[in-house]
């Protein structure tokens, strides 16, 4: 049995179903040569002239362009660029009516030709055999070539097919009536078409190439046969003139007996189909470097004085083409782009020529009468007999009218090639093709919406699943032990270990508490043996006697307000002088102690002296307000001092303030010299445990009472002044006295303050008064640690005894005054 290729080489042909035989009307145009037209006034170039995505603009308005210059570049799949058909200036880039039955505006580039026809730089490749397949495909792609037989499919997609191609079919059938563009192109440029076939053969390597031409084109058949005479793998076949034998699927079936499956493409059966005009454009782009900027267009119709084929620049308006052919329009004139079977009536003659434009038909009303009104179908089945796709046009029309899209798809609506054969033979003049086109558009929109809905549903389900997964993870995270809990348990174990180490360290012999306990034990032992020195209370008794004298003097002054204040003034001066003398003595003693680094015995004496000084100061403050109750002294100061003169009251306030200030300073110095840096001051109570509990309580009560009395006395003597501010206001308080006495009192008070401050600085040079206790260690670095501890214990005991003695003396004074 012969193979298929052998049968094809022998010239065997096959039949396709359906088809019609309308009058061709080609003789008026196919016998004339192709001629060129003058440049139009403007060119309107839609940036999308093919099936697929539009390109990206490379130019802007006002820019000067050259002939062949790329105006757009591909930016998506199935996207090819457009080029400038001539040199000139870009007047505008704006939407213009498109070459479509609806004339929907599409973005277009408007060029004003300059008449120079200046080409851009071209890159020819005459030796294309040396180029790779990818390079050849890029050349075809960027030359802007798309199918020129009417569909507008991007050519580079076909030439880059990854499926094996056994047979290459060149479509020269041109079955549409009136159209002869391919016929005259084959007559005039058969050599270029054959070289274009060689380029495709170099890319795809088919075993056989078949050129199919209808038998009503004898000149084209002869020209192509001569051009292919030297090539065994290229054969020319003349086929029966029948519409629509020029359809891609019908031509494949006629030449190879193969049928393209429904929804498939010719490459699925190893076949590739290219139009003769497309092959010519491929040859021009590869061998000469010219992009697709012009094409052959048939101008036919009885309203034209001269019919024929012209080289039309892309973007030329139909009006310009018709004008140069002697267009004489009739009333209700129709202008059709394409042939009478598959073309469409233009809404305007300002529509431009695009890459898929092969014919402009301007028939007269007698030549092509307008279709009549649609009538009811008579069910003659003529449409089904004429259908080349073996469909049921009548059923499809019914389903289209009722919008039963599911049944339309079941009856293979999309296998319809819209050839118009069914409408041509319909006696009821039903525009069947129009029904099919509308139904296809609506189904496509519905499919797009379904795809969007499906994607939205998938996104929703994915989101829902993600949220459920996250919720489940959160629940599981609460169920199983968390890392933070494990970390907290580990940290607790570490803390327990650290506490154990601290406790172990506390049990070591060098611990501070152990040292303090030893010091207290030694203090108790010394007290039991009677080693602690007894404090000298003579000065305390003397101060108490002095306070009694002052109390008596105040009483006498109250009883005799008319007496001259000279005696009390002298007493006050004497008290101030005595206080100044005591301050100087203490300062000198403190200076000697700081220079000679006192021993433990001297530290004890200093602590005892400080305690005595504090007791004296407290008694002096109490004596100033001996006749008042502690809680009533501040409220009754004014009534108690009305009898005495203003001078005496102010001097008494000054003396009391000076005494308090000195007592406080002395107390701070004594406390600072008797404290250990490790906190012995805070542990005085524990150091003096050797004394009885009763003595400690009495001493604390006495100290509190003494401080309260001193504060009340200060308030009584200076009700509008703070205790620490009495000394600063000496001058204002003693205005009633003479100028000499006022000056002496102010000088004495200032000297007392200065000496007290200097003494505090000497004992604690680097510390504030309140922090002196913390810096004892730095002041007493000379003695050994054992001596320091002994001195601290002795000082604490001395202070306790002094407080106790002061409390007893205060008690006696209260009894005497009462």
3-state helix, strand, coil in the chain (%, to 5): 55, 10, 35
401 in Cβ contact with 368 (< 8 Å): no
Annotated ligand binding at 228? The verdict is no
CA distance 35 to 43: 19
Query: E strands along 218-257, which residues?
Result: 234-239
CA distance 817 to 182: 146
CA distances for 220 relative to 214, 276, 330, 556, angstroms: 9, 11, 34, 158
CA distance 267 to 256: 14
Q: In the structure encoding, which two tokens stand for residue 256, read together?
A: 């190879």
Using the structure block, give the residue that is written with the tokens 């250990």. 676
CA distance 389 to 710: 126
Whether the upstream peptide bond of residue 244 has omega within 30° of 0, thus cis, is yes
CA distance 415 to 409: 10
Whether the upstream peptide bond of residue 493 has omega within 30° of 0, thus cis, is no
Closest CA to 35 of 297, 263, 218, 375: 297
Mention every residue, 6+ apart, whose C-beta is less than 8 A from residue 159. 136, 137, 140, 200, 203, 204
529 in Cβ contact with 604 (< 8 Å): no
Closest CA to 516 of 730, 636, 684: 684
Q: Phi-psi region for residue 56, left (φ > 0), alpha (ψ -120 to 50) or beta?
A: beta
292 in Cβ contact with 143 (< 8 Å): yes
Backbone angles phi, psi at 337, to 5 degrees: -95, 120
Per the DSSP assignment, residues forming a β-bridge with 167 are: 208, 271
Helix/strand/coil (H/E/C) assignment for every residue in 610-636: HHHHHHHHHHHHHHHCCCCCCCCCCCC
Annotated ligand binding at 359? The verdict is no
817 in Cβ contact with 809 (< 8 Å): no
End-to-end CA distance of the chain: 156
Annotated ligand binding at 387? The verdict is yes
Residue 561 half-sphere exposure toward CB, CA atoms < 13 A: 9
In terms of Cβ atoms closer than 10 Å to its own Cβ (0-12, 13-18, 19+), residue 786 is: exposed
Residue 146 half-sphere exposure toward CB, CA atoms < 13 A: 24
CA distance 198 to 201: 5
Return the sign of the alpha-carbon dihedral for residues 306, 309, 313, 315. Answer: positive
By three-state DSSP, how is residue 95 classified?
Answer: strand
Annotated ligand binding at 175? The verdict is no
Mention every residue, 6+ apart, whose C-beta is less than 8 A from residue 244. 19, 175, 176, 250, 341, 388, 417, 419, 421
Q: In the structure encoding, which two tokens stand for residue 121, read together?
A: 């730089």
Q: Are strands 234-239 and 208-214 parallel, antiparallel or unpaired?
A: parallel
Annotated ligand binding at 419? The verdict is yes
Mention every residue, 6+ apart, whose C-beta is less than 8 A from residue 27. none
680 in Cβ contact with 780 (< 8 Å): no
Using the structure block, give the residue that is written with the tokens 């152990």. 514
Please give the distance of CA 583 from its chain centroid, rounded to a whole number. 75
CA distance 363 to 367: 6
> What DSSP letter does each residue of 591-609 carry, written as one string?
HHHHHH---HHHHHHHHHH
Known binding-site residues equal: 377, 380, 383, 387, 416, 419, 422, 426
Known binding-site residues for [4Fe-4S] cluster equal: 377, 380, 383, 387, 416, 419, 422, 426
């Amino acid at each position: 049995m012969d193979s298929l290729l052998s049968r094809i080489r022998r010239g065997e042909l096959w039949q396709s179903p359906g088809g019609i035989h309308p009058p061709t009307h080609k003789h008026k145009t196919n016998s004339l040569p192709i001629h060129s037209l003058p440049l139009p006034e403007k060119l309107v170039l839609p940036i999308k002239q093919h099936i697929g995505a539009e390109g990206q603009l490379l130019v802007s308005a006002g820019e000067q362009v050259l002939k062949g210059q790329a105006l757009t570049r591909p930016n998506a799949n199935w996207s090819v660029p457009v080029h400038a058909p001539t040199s000139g200036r870009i007047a505008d880039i704006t939407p213009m009516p498109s070459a479509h039955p609806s004339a929907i505006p599409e973005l277009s580039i408007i060029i004003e030709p300059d008449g120079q026809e200046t080409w851009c730089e071209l890159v020819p490749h005459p030796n294309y055999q040396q180029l790779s397949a990818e390079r050849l495909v890029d050349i075809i792609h960027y030359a802007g070539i798309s199918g020129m037989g009417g569909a507008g499919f991007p050519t580079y997609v076909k030439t880059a097919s990854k499926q094996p191609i056994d047979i290459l079919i060149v479509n020269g059938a041109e079955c549409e009536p009136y159209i002869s563009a391919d016929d005259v192109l084959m007559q005039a440029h058969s050599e270029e078409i054959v070289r274009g076939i060689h380029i495709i053969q170099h890319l795809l390597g088919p075993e056989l190439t078949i050129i199919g031409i209808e038998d009503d084109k004898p000149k084209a058949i002869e020209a192509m046969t001569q051009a292919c005479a030297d090539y065994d793998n290229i054969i020319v076949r003349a086929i029966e003139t029948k519409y629509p034998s020029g359809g891609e699927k019908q031509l494949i079936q006629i030449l190879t007996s193969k049928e393209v499956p429904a929804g498939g493409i010719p490459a699925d059966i190893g076949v590739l189909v290219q139009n003769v005009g497309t092959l010519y454009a491929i040859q021009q782009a590869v061998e000469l470097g010219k992009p697709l900027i012009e094409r052959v267009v048939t101008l036919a119709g009885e309203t034209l004085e001269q019919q024929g084929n012209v080289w039309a620049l892309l973007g030329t308006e139909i009006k310009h083409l018709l004008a140069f052919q002697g267009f004489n329009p009739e009333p209700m004139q129709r202008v059709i782009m394409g042939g009478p079977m598959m073309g469409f009536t233009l809404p305007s003659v300002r529509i431009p020529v695009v890459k898929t434009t092969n014919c402009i038909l301007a028939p007269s009303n007698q030549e092509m009468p307008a279709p009549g009104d649609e009538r009811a179908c008579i069910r003659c089945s003529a449409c089904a007999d004429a259908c080349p796709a073996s469909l049921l046009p009548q059923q499809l029309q019914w389903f289209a009218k009722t919008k039963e899209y599911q049944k339309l798809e079941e009856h293979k609506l999309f296998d319809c090639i819209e050839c118009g054969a069914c409408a041509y033979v319909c006696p009821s003049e039903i525009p069947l093709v129009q029904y099919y086109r509308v139904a296809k558009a609506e189904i496509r929109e519905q499919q797009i919406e379904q795809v969007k809905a499906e994607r939205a549903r998938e996104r929703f389900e994915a989101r829902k699943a993600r949220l459920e997964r996250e919720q489940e993870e959160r629940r599981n995270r609460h169920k199983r032990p968390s890392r933070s809990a494990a970390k907290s348990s580990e940290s607790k174990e570490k803390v327990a270990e650290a506490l154990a180490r601290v406790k172990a360290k506390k049990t070591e012999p060098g611990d501070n508490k152990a040292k303090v306990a030893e010091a207290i034990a030694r203090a108790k032992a010394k007290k039991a043996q009677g080693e602690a020195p007894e404090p000298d209370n003579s000065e305390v008794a003397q101060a108490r006697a002095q306070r009694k004298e002052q109390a008596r003097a105040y009483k006498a002054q109250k009883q005799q307000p008319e007496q001259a204040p000279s005696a009390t003034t002298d007493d006050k001066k004497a008290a101030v002088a005595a206080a100044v003398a005591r301050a100087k003595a203490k300062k000198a003693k403190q200076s000697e102690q700081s220079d000679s680094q006192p021993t433990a015995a001297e530290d004890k004496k200093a602590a005892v002296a400080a305690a005595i000084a504090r007791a004296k100061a407290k008694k002096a403050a109490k004596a100033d307000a001996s006749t008042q109750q502690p809680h009533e002294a501040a409220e009754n100061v004014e009534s108690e001092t009305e009898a005495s003169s203003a001078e005496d009251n102010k001097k008494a306030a000054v003396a009391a303030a000076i005494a308090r200030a000195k007592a406080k300073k002395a107390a701070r110095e004594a406390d600072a010299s008797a404290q250990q840096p490790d906190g012995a001051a805070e542990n005085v109570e524990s150091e003096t445990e050797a004394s009885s509990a009763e003595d400690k309580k009495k001493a604390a009560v006495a100290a509190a009472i003494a401080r309260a009395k001193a504060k009340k006395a200060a308030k009584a003597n200076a009700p509008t002044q703070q205790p620490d501010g009495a000394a600063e206001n000496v001058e204002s308080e003693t205005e009633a006295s003479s100028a000499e006495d006022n000056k002496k009192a102010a000088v004495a008070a200032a000297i007392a303050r200065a000496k007290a401050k200097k003494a505090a600085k000497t004992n604690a040079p680097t510390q504030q008064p309140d922090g002196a206790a913390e810096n004892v260690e730095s002041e007493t670095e000379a003695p050994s640690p054992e001596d320091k501890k002994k001195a601290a214990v002795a000082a604490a005991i001395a202070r306790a005894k002094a407080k106790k003695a002061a409390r007893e003396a205060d008690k006696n004074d209260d009894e005497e005054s009462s």
